[in-house]
Amino acid sequence: MNLLGNIIWLVFGGFLIFLEYMVAGLLLCLTIVGIPFGLQCFKIGFLALVPFGRQVRDVAAPTGCLASLFNIIWIFIGGIWIALTHLVFGVLLAITIIGLPFARQHFKLLNLSLTPFGKEVV
């Protein structure tokens, strides 16, 4: 079932979301200061490529409070807009019964895109 969901996800926009995150990650990695943020874009992008069958969980960040500081910076730089986009798409897809599994994936991406530091994808 996960394979079918991932194929449908890719056909109906998942690949475009993946490309957007990859381009943003590459642009952020052009500067030394942006490398941690670019790596988080890659993490979100690979989850956006095949979200079905994968989970996001909180982990203790080895950097301590630096992860919290990076999350705050991430939110102000663009994380809030990414999260709002996933929220809008999730709500629109949740209107129909057929769209519920895809809405659930957008809500999962919303959680990760709002505060990506200190989380891992399994």
Domain assignments of the chain as residue spans, ordered by start: 2-121
Instruction: Give residue 119's identity as a one-letter amino acid code.
Output: K
pLDDT tens per residue across span 79-117? 899 999 999 999 999 999 999 999 999 999 999 999 999
Residues 6+ apart with CB under 8 A from 1: 52
The alpha carbon of 112 is separated from its chain's Cα centroid by a whole number of angstroms, namely: 5
* Confidence band for 41, pLDDT divided at 50, 70 and 90: very high
Q: What is the pTM of this model?
A: 0.88
Q: Which has the closest alpha carbon to 102: 117, 115, 116, 89?
A: 89
